[in-house]
């Protein structure tokens, strides 16, 4: 198998990494907010969870929560969070049976156990040389045997059928430790018994919003009456309608986000580069037909096209980031880092509140109000874009916690004896005698400093990602310019490292992308948006964890004057965005005007006018655009004015 014949990047355990600067602030707000207190606030992951031996929720919510809690606890070093992790791990270990099955007996679905495997692997990496790690690896090995046996007895169904390859990261991690060939066979068999994502990405048949292929009511009507649950109507059996079953899963935003890494694992299992070619083709087709300006794709549950008032689910954001992390690790292809940065620094940053105490289910690129109202979602509910504890479905409440911790953990990876910088956000990593410290405000700054301390004073390579947006990338080591040519989106420096500092200076231009959905403004990895002043109101009172609505208190329907493009300027302003950890704010000052024929449709900003745009050219204004990720209400897809 391919795994035997090639080298890949290796991740560091999360207790080897510390976030710094604004990124440290982001983790701290999560730890003091929902991520650190969800079990005290939300009964689905509270003491009565069936995963803890109670009579409560027994499916995916406990595993999702632990999958984020483990890295967060060890990245922040908070004893309080580590103790919570131990309670969950102890309970899961105690649930293991003689045949390898583990978890609540009240729910035998394999799917949530695949999520729990990821959390267990993360924990085992931290405790790799002690009895805790050994106990976890033993449980995982027994469960792998159980899964192999079950594959011969009954077919995978529903979420397990769509997401069976979610086991692959855990199986390969366990294989690296044990060299048990049965684990590789199980990974291959799971791939063969689950949904054919290769054909989907190769053909990419869903080129329009899903309602043009599968009206939601048609899907509901296709189910038996007992399965028509108004809150989660997803239990259509394959033998009732194979076509609708396939459409449901291949249009589901989270399934697609997860499945990107499945093609990388197919490549890892077989060595066949057709999987990597189709992976790239699938990404390009997905963004061509459903791409949004923030790096995500329209999926208010299912693929919903490119219109900037359609929604994108938070679970999709964090799962896509995890897939991209896995893809770069397996392929060593750093060109994927562009997408990785765009998703994290834009889509992830905006959709969890600045204080870490609430989140949205759906975010909108053009988001002019955050209220309970009927919008043009495909299947989501009226509360889907409010900030709250459990808007729409609780899956995002449970799953949001993995996003930032895993992002931090994968900012740097190991490549043999060397290290690879995926993105330049501030962190510190410790690996035996080597300490690498990154400082600066990237991506809100054009510079980053990397200090390498090596007690052994030995030579090894440092690989630096070269972003595709960079017009230049200057590297200065201890005051001396380094001359290195980029190759395959990277620059590799091999030195005898002792105590050197690399200063990285990026050149960046304001980039304008004009599309049928509107005008987008970028600089570096950041999308820029016009922030809309808002009035906040409490919808459901829960103290720090209340549900909130936001309504605009100013006009929002601005277009940007391309005829005045030469007057646009980029500068840094001392502008404090509460709880964001960023004060020296990059801004773009542009010329704009109110658009007279652009209004509200279905309680969202209407379709961006792209022809016959009406405005008063005598009433132009200076508009200050800020990074999309630092906004709440905003316009980021603008009418173009000439």
The secondary structure of residue 52, as a DSSP letter, is G
**Residue showing tokens 């509901």:** 220
Model confidence pLDDT, tens digit, residues 312-329: 999 999 999 999 999 999
* 223-to-154, 194, 198, 233, 379 alpha-carbon distances in Å: 22, 22, 27, 9, 16
Distance of CA 640 to the CA centre of its chain: 30
Q: How confident is the model at residue 578 (pLDDT cuts 50, 70, 90)?
A: low
Secondary-structure breakdown of the chain: helix, strand, coil percentages, each rounded to the nearest 5: 40, 25, 35
pLDDT reported for residue 1: 53
Lowest mean pLDDT among 138-152, 220-234, 527-541, 623-637: 220-234
Model confidence pLDDT, tens digit, residues 365-397: 999 999 999 999 999 999 999 999 999 999 999
Q: What is the pLDDT of the chain when averaged over all its residues?
A: 94
Spatial distance between the Cα atoms of 364 and 382, rounded to a whole number of angstroms: 14
Q: How confident is the model at residue 527 (pLDDT cuts 50, 70, 90)?
A: very high
Judge whether residue 347 has pLDDT over 80: yes
Report the sign of the C-alpha dihedral through residues 474, 476, 482, 487, in that order.
negative
pLDDT reported for residue 218: 80
Q: How confident is the model at residue 309 (pLDDT cuts 50, 70, 90)?
A: very high
22 contacts 407 by C-beta, under 8 angstroms: no
Mean per-residue pLDDT, 558-579? 85
Q: How confident is the model at residue 219 (pLDDT cuts 50, 70, 90)?
A: confident
466 contacts 505 by C-beta, under 8 angstroms: no
Strand, coil or helix: 381: coil
Mean per-residue pLDDT, 492-507? 97
Strand, coil or helix: 375: coil
Spatial distance between the Cα atoms of 526 and 444, rounded to a whole number of angstroms: 8
The secondary structure of residue 310, as a DSSP letter, is S
pLDDT reported for residue 299: 96
Of 44, 43, 35, nearest to 85 by C-alpha is: 35
Q: How confident is the model at residue 222 (pLDDT cuts 50, 70, 90)?
A: confident
**0.85 cut: is pTM over it?**
yes
Judge whether residue 234 has pLDDT over 80: no
* 607-to-81, 301, 434, 517, 552 alpha-carbon distances in Å: 45, 20, 53, 7, 18
55 contacts 48 by C-beta, under 8 angstroms: yes
Lowest mean pLDDT among 87-101, 162-176, 404-418, 578-592: 578-592
Bridge partners, residue 526, by sequence: 523
Judge whether residue 3 has pLDDT over 90: no
Q: How confident is the model at residue 223 (pLDDT cuts 50, 70, 90)?
A: confident
Phi, psi of 435 (to 5 degrees): -125, 125
Bridge partners, residue 103, by sequence: none
Judge whether residue 233 has pLDDT over 80: no
Exposure b/e, 274-303, CB count within 10 A at least 16 = b = ebbebbeebbebbeebbbbbbbbbbbbbbb
Q: Where are the alpha helices (DSSP H) in 204-273?
A: 216-221, 242-250, 253-270
pLDDT reported for residue 228: 58
Spatial distance between the Cα atoms of 376 and 367, rounded to a whole number of angstroms: 13
Tokens of 244: 């609708």
Share of the chain above pLDDT 90, in %: 88
434 contacts 475 by C-beta, under 8 angstroms: no
Spatial distance between the Cα atoms of 342 and 321, rounded to a whole number of angstroms: 10
Q: Where are the alpha helices (DSSP H) in 410-563?
A: none
* 185-to-98, 289, 329, 627 alpha-carbon distances in Å: 22, 36, 21, 46
Spatial distance between the Cα atoms of 17 and 263, rounded to a whole number of angstroms: 29
Mean per-residue pLDDT, 243-254? 93
Mean per-residue pLDDT, 130-148? 94
Judge whether residue 231 has pLDDT over 50: no
480: exposed, middle or buried (Cβ count in 10 Å: 0-12, 13-18, 19+): exposed
pLDDT reported for residue 582: 72
Judge whether residue 224 has pLDDT over 80: no
pLDDT reported for residue 227: 61
The secondary structure of residue 430, as a DSSP letter, is E
Spatial distance between the Cα atoms of 578 and 611, rounded to a whole number of angstroms: 38
Judge whether residue 427 has pLDDT over 70: yes
Share of the chain above pLDDT 70, in %: 95
The enclosing H or E element of 570 equals strand 569-574
């Amino acid at each position: 198998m391919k795994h035997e014949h090639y080298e890949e990047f290796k991740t560091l355990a999360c207790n080897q990494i510390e976030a710094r600067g604004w990124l440290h602030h982001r983790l701290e707000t999560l730890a003091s907010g929902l991520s650190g207190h969800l079990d005290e606030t939300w009964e689905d992951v509270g003491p009565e969870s069936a995963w803890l031996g109670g009579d409560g929720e027994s499916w995916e919510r406990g595993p999702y929560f632990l999958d984020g809690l483990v890295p967060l606890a060890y990245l922040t070093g908070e004893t309080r969070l580590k103790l919570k992790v131990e309670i969950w791990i102890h309970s899961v270990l105690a649930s293991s049976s003689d045949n390898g099955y583990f978890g609540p007996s009240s729910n035998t679905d394999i799917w949530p156990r695949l999520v729990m495997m990821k959390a267990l692997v993360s924990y085992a990496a931290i405790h790799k040389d002690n009895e805790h790690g050994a106990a976890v690896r033993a449980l995982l090995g027994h469960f792998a045997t159980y899964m192999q046996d079950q594959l011969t007895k009954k077919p995978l169904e529903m979420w397990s059928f769509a997401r069976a390859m979610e086991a692959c990261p855990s199986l390969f991690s366990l294989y690296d430790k044990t060299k048990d060939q049965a684990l590789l066979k199980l990974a291959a068999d799971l791939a063969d018994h689950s949904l054919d994502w290769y054909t989907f990405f190769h053909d990419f048949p869903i080129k329009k919003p899903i309602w043009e292929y599968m009206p939601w009511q048609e899907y509901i009507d296709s189910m038996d009456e007992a399965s028509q649950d108004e809150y989660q109507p997803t239990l259509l059996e394959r033998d009732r309608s194979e076509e609708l079953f396939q459409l449901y899963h291949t249009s589901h935003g989270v399934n697609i986000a997860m499945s990107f890494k499945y093609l990388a694992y197919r490549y890892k299992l077989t060595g066949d580069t057709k999987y990597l070619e189709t992976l790239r083709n699938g990404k390009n087709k997905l963004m061509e037909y459903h791409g949004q300006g923030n790096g995500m794709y329209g999926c208010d549950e299912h693929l919903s096209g490119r219109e900037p008032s359609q929604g994108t689910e938070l679970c999709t954001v964090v799962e896509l980031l995890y897939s991209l992390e896995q893809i770069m690790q397996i392929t060593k292809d750093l060109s994927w880092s562009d997408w990785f940065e765009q998703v994290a620094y834009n889509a992830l940053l905006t959709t969890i509140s600045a204080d870490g105490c609430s989140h949205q289910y759906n975010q909108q690129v053009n988001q002019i109000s955050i209220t309970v109202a009927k919008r043009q979602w495909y299947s989501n509910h009226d509360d889907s874009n409010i900030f709250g504890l459990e808007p729409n479905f609780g899956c995002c409440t449970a799953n949001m916690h993995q996003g930032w911790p895993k992002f931090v953990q994968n900012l740097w990876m190991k490549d043999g004896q060397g290290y690879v910088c995926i993105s330049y956000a501030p962190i510190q990593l410790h690996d035996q005698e080597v300490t690498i410290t990154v400082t600066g405000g990237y991506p809100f700054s054009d510079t980053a400093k990397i200090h390498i301390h090596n007690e052994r004073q030995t030579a090894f390579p440092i690989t630096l990602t070269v972003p595709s947006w960079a017009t230049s990338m200057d590297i200065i080591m201890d005051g001396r310019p380094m001359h290195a040519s980029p190759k395959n989106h990277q620059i590799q420096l091999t030195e005898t490292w002792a105590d050197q500092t690399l200063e990285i200076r990026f050149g960046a231009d304001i980039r304008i992308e004009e599309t049928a959905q509107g005008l987008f403004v970028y600089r570096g990895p950041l999308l820029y948006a016009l922030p809309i002043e808002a009035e906040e109101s409490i919808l459901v009172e829960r103290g720090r964890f209340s549900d909130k609505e936001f309504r605009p208190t100013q006009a929002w329907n601005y277009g940007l004057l391309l005829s005045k493009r030469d007057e646009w300027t980029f500068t840094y302003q001392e502008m404090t965005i509460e709880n964001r950890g960023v004060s020296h704010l990059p801004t773009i000052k542009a010329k704009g005007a109110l658009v007279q024929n652009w209004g509200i449709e279905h309680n969202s900003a209407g379709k961006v006018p792209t022809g016959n745009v009406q405005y008063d050219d005598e009433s132009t204004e200076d508009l200050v655009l800020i990074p999309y990720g630092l906004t709440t209400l905003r316009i980021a897809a603008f009418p173009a004015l000439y």
